[in-house]
A and B are shown apart, each in its own frame.
Chain A
Amino acid sequence: MSKVRVIDVHTGIFDENNRIADEIRRQNQADQTFLVNIMASPGAGKTSVLLRTIRELKRQYRIGVMEADIDYAIDAEKMEREDIPAIQVHTGGECAMDAAMTRQALSEFSSKDFDLIFLENVGNLVCPAENDTGASVNVEILSVPEGDDKPLKYPLMFQVCQVVLINKIDTKKFFAFDDEAVKARIHALNPDAKVFFLSAKTGEGFDQWTGWLKAQLQLRS
């Protein structure tokens, strides 16, 4: 005979993920490793922005990259061609990195040997925003061809990011992209967000972004 027992749980589905994420932040702080979670839609220029950022900073800092994708290792190969330490993480079909996957990747990468680690998340504006990876800072890259309306359509992404990089500003003459409107939409969701306009192709605007990043790294040491 079977008895039915009801157990009231009332636990957030992401509570355990958030607990692991906080642990990652504590450990990285102790190791003085700054973890930057880069999120964007596919094709926004995550890899190109990272390559140019790392070229500008790699003489000063020890930098590594964790590439998260559903499959394949093309991004990690691009990093390795430039002698940037990289590991490829396959999420096994999942649309975002979660904290447990990030913790495992960090430990395989011996993360404490780095000052700065970029996590290039799966290209997607929905799931990565829901999963706290334990990053020190969340950065969203929005490219000009995607349009200035994206903060309206994907509000959570713009709420969880401390920095928004508007990439591909060299293509602005081809698109109706309103800089002031996008800033206003981002700040309506997240008044403290830093917004930097840049082009990974020409390098325009990179000084402000890398300057901000260096200031964050100095604050930690």
Chain B
Amino acid sequence: MHEMGIVYHVADEVEKIAAQNDICHIGSVTLQIGEVTGVIFDYMSDLWGWVSDKSSLLKGSRLLYEQIPAVTLCKSCGQRYSTVQSGRQCPHCGSWDTVLVQGNEYIIKQIEADS
């Protein structure tokens, strides 16, 4: 259930941003989550319902998300490939000397204020 901790962090951050921008109610929050973070978005969405219900700022708001695909760079041949398809070993040259360049992000992209 690492989704629970993440949802709390998001709610805290959104409360702060709302206070700084004189926002009274949030319509939606959009996250960008990397493909290999292991986050199950359906869980996040259920937890958001439960957490947001306790806050007048967030009550009824929607949690949306965009997935950032995971990409690995091979340091031997310089090519990039899909991490989820091929894992740690480069499918082009067989090297294990590879590094994840994107796909482990946890980002609050934007919030939509409706009042």
Contacts and interface: CB of A to CB of B under 8 A. Distances in A.
Contacts, number: 83
A10 B107 contact: yes
B111 A94 contact: no
Nearest to B87: A152
A13 B10 contact: yes
Nearest to B105: A12
A14 B106 contact: yes
Interface in A87-133: 93-96, 98, 126-127, 130-131
B8 interface: yes
B66 interface: no
Nearest to B29: A9
A3 B27 CA distance: 11
Given A7-B17, A9-B108, A16 B2 contact: no
Contacts of A14: 9, 106
B18 to A, nearest CB: 9
B76 interface: no
B111 A7 contact: yes
A4 B115 CA distance: 7
Interface residues of A, number: 27
A95 B110 contact: no
B5 A12 contact: no
A188 B106 CA distance: 24
A9 B12 CA distance: 14
A13 B31 contact: yes
Contact of A2 (B1, B107, B114): B114
Contacts of B10: 13
A215 interface: no
Interface in A194-208: none
B12 to A, nearest CB: 7
Contact of B114 (A4, A8, A17): A4
Contacts of A131: 5
B9 A130 contact: no
A156 B13 CA distance: 24
Nearest to B2: A127
Top-4 shortest CB links A-B: A13-B106, A127-B2, A5-B113, A9-B108
